[in-house]
């Protein structure tokens, strides 16, 4: 069973823990470097990215988070979590740091000029058709690097065609909050990424032993 942590400094931690448990993972809150070191994957929840990153720095977690993601730890960020995983951010306080890892430029509160919260259908190309996505003071991906796979875009309205879901290797990010709806397909996708990563690592370790 994969052990998947949820960064538990601020935000909708409980909802992610529940969604991951439903998908067969052992879900654990992560507040300390030792807890981070013990997980096979990590979810960065929705909440307030400015607060989460400040608390991460204060708890001595920011550098360990960066190192873990760079070392290939699978991570999924929803909303504020997407901001945390982005290499570059716009409309953020000038000193706002990120964990990074995702080669994207993310604009905070990007939809905010029109509306604070809304729901929309987003097609991620998953079995079962488009999903109902909940956006709350959400960011969007303004620019994605070459190695980034665009999983979903807004269709219609003022934000037509804006990128709201991406994947780069073991990193996934969504502008919206699948943890707040009953649709578990994004969490299922992430748990699957974690399982594959674990299996690959087990294979690599076995090869090492064969020498
Ligand atoms: N606006 C928040 C931020 O900048 C994100 C909102 C959310 O996670 N629902 O961190």
Residues 6 or more apart from 89 whose CB is under 8 A from it?
A: 83, 96, 98, 105, 106, 107, 108, 139
User: From the alpha carbon of 79, which atom of ligand 1 is closest?
Assistant: 8
Tokens (6 digits) for 64: 């360990």
- What per-residue confidence (pLDDT) applies to 116? 83
Residue 157 banded pLDDT, cuts 50, 70, 90: confident
Residue 208 banded pLDDT, cuts 50, 70, 90: confident
Nearest to 169 by CA among 209, 197, 130: 197
Per-residue pLDDT reduced to its tens digit, 74-87: 999 999 999 999 99
Q: Which residue segment(s) compose the domain that 184 sits in? A: 3-210
Per-residue pLDDT reduced to its tens digit, 115-147: 789 999 999 999 999 999 999 999 999 999 999
Where is the binding site for L-glutamine, in residues? 47-49, 108, 136-137
Average pLDDT of the residues in 140-161: 95
Q: How far is 27 from 21, CA to CA, in rounded Å? A: 6
Instruction: State yes or no: pLDDT of 100 exceeds 60.
Output: yes
Per-residue pLDDT reduced to its tens digit, 84-99: 999 999 999 999 999 9
Instruction: State yes or no: pLDDT of 156 exceeds 80.
Output: yes
146 catalytic residue (yes or no): no
Q: Is 83 in the pocket of ligand 1 (CB under 6 A)?
A: yes
177 catalytic residue (yes or no): yes
79 catalytic residue (yes or no): yes
* Residue 167 three-state SS: strand
- What per-residue confidence (pLDDT) applies to 16? 98
Average pLDDT of the residues in 169-173: 98
- What per-residue confidence (pLDDT) applies to 110? 94
| pTM of the complete model | 0.96
- Which CATH number belongs to the domain containing residue 136 in this structure? 3.40.50.880
H or E stretch at 151: strand 149-153
Q: Is 81 in the pocket of ligand 1 (CB under 6 A)?
A: no
Instruction: State yes or no: pLDDT of 114 exceeds 70.
Output: no
Tokens (6 digits) for 16: 């992610």
* Residue 41 three-state SS: strand
Q: Is 16 in the pocket of ligand 1 (CB under 6 A)?
A: no
User: From the alpha carbon of 47, which atom of ligand 1 is closest?
Assistant: 8
Q: How far is 63 from 33, CA to CA, in rounded Å? A: 9
Tell me the best of 9, 49, 99 to mutate to test the pocket of ligand 1, counting ligand atoms within 8 Å of each CB and taking the most.
49
Q: Is 108 in the pocket of ligand 1 (CB under 6 A)?
A: yes
Tally of structural domains, the chain: 1
The closest residue, in CA terms, to atom 5 on ligand 1 is 80
What are the angstrom distances between the C-alpha of 130 and each of 4, 123, 125, 133, 136? 26, 4, 7, 9, 19
Q: Which of 16, 79, 187, 197 is catalytic?
A: 79
Nearest to 92 by CA among 59, 144, 135, 139: 139
User: From the alpha carbon of 83, which atom of ligand 1 is closest?
Assistant: 10
The alpha carbon of 128 and the centre of ligand 1 are apart by a number of angstroms equal to 28
- What per-residue confidence (pLDDT) applies to 211? 67
The 8-class DSSP code of residue 148 comes to P
């Amino acid at each position: 069973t994969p052990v998947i942590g949820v960064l538990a400094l601020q935000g909708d931690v409980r909802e992610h823990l529940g969604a991951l448990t439903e998908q067969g993972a052992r879900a654990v809150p992560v507040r300390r470097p030792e807890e981070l070191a013990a997980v096979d994957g990590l979810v960065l929840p929705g909440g307030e990215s400015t607060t989460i990153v400040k608390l991460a720095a204060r708890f001595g977690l920011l550098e360990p988070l960066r190192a873990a993601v760079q070392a290939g730890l699978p991570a999924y960020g929803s909303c504020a979590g997407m901001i945390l995983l982005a290499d570059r951010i716009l409309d953020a306080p000038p000193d706002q740091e990120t964990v990074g890892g995702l080669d994207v430029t993310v604009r905070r509160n990007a939809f905010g000029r029109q509306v604070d919260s809304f729901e929309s259908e987003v097609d991620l190309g998953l079995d079962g058709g488009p999903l109902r996505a909940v956006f709350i003071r959400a960011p969007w991906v303004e620019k994605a690097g070459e190695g980034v796979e665009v999983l979903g875009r807004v269709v219609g309205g003022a934000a037509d065609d804006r990128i709201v879901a991406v994947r780069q290797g073991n990193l996934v990010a969504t502008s919206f909050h699948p943890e707040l709806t009953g649709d578990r397909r994004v969490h299922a996708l992430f748990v699957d990424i974690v399982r594959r990563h674990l299996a690959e690592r087990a294979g690599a370790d076995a090869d090492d032993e064969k020498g």
